[in-house]
Amino acid sequence: MSFLSGFKKGLNRAGTTIMQRTGAVDRTTDSEFEEEFERFKTLEKKSDKLTKQAKGYIDSLRGMTAAQLRMSQTIGQFYDDTIIMGPGGQEYKKVIERLDEDAKTDMDKAFRTTVLEPLARFCSYFPQVNDAVKRRQKKLLDYDSHRSKVRKLVDKPSEDPQRLPRAEQEANMAREMYENLNTILIEDLPKFVELRVAYCDPIFEALVKSQLRFCQNSYEELEGLRHHFPPESEHADRSVDDVLQQMRELSICGNF
């Protein structure tokens, strides 16, 4: 019975929607609600985008450290203890291994706990609000349908004198149900939108701190390799140019 009742209501609402599109039934509008709901949808869109981008960031960071690790393993094969830069190549590999491990454990865990999970919880409220808006829309369609019936009975009175009072009573009940839900949404939607500041500020702070910590740690680890390289970059540039010139002079490179 409840299924048939719900099915009938769904058909009636669909019919009301079609008739509104054709102009046969007036559509009730509320500019205040529309404005607040538009702000809410903008927040929802931006929040979903931020969540995807934050996840993309940590995934990209993990991809970068994994690529660094593979590269360091290959570089390590170029060097051994018999050449001057050998210790530098081996130490570089160890540094990258530590950075990769840090990204997999501390950085990844902290980022998910302080950024991704709070964002996911924040976004989990959007479907609940959208469900309330859908209920409002259904009640609005019911109200417009009853209002249309009253208008028709006024324009063309029925032989049954009780039909108009009964239709007016049903319209008033439908209006009350719609207005109650509409008032709640008009009051709560701006509150929800404003709460984004208090909620998202700690997330933003955690995001910056996690990036700062990772960058500082990476800098300090890589800075420790500096002593393996010549202090004068100009001398290093000349050394590279000299080697390139020797390569050009090889007979196998004669065509380059």
Taking residue 37's Cβ as centre, other Cβ atoms within 10 Å add up to 18
Q: What is the pLDDT of residue 230?
A: 66
43 neighbors 200 (Cβ within 8 angstroms): no
* pLDDT beyond 70 at 30: yes
Radius of gyration of the chain (CA): 34
66 neighbors 185 (Cβ within 8 angstroms): no
Task: Round to whole Å and give the CA distance between 137 and 188.
Answer: 16
* pLDDT beyond 90 at 112: yes
Handedness of CA 48, 195, 116, 206 (dihedral sign): positive
> With bands split at pLDDT 50, 70 and 90, how would you rate the model's confidence at 19?
low
> The tokens 């009301």 sit on which residue?
16
C-alpha distances in Å from residue 247, one per residue of 14, 39, 86: 78, 64, 22
C-alpha distances in Å from residue 20, one per residue of 6, 125, 141, 163: 21, 31, 9, 23
**Model confidence pLDDT, tens digit, residues 140-164:** 888 888 888 888 888 888 778 888 8
Residue % of the chain over a pLDDT of 90: 41
26 neighbors 20 (Cβ within 8 angstroms): yes
Closest listed residue to residue 187, CA positions, set 32, 47, 39: 32
Quote the mean pLDDT of the chain: 82
**Model confidence pLDDT, tens digit, residues 167-179:** 889 889 999 999 9
Task: Round to whole Å and give the CA distance between 33 and 29.
Answer: 9
Task: Round to whole Å and give the CA distance between 128 and 188.
Answer: 13
Task: Round to whole Å and give the CA distance between 18 and 59.
Answer: 46
Handedness of CA 177, 182, 187, 190 (dihedral sign): positive
Vertex 193, ends 33 and 51: CA angle to 5°?
125
Residue 125 neighbours by CB under 8 Å, 6+ apart: 192
- What tokens were used for 100? 């990769």
Task: Mark out the alpha helices in 224-251 (DSSP H runs).
Answer: 233-248
Taking residue 105's Cβ as centre, other Cβ atoms within 10 Å add up to 10
Task: Round to whole Å and give the CA distance between 212 and 165.
Answer: 70
* pLDDT beyond 90 at 228: no
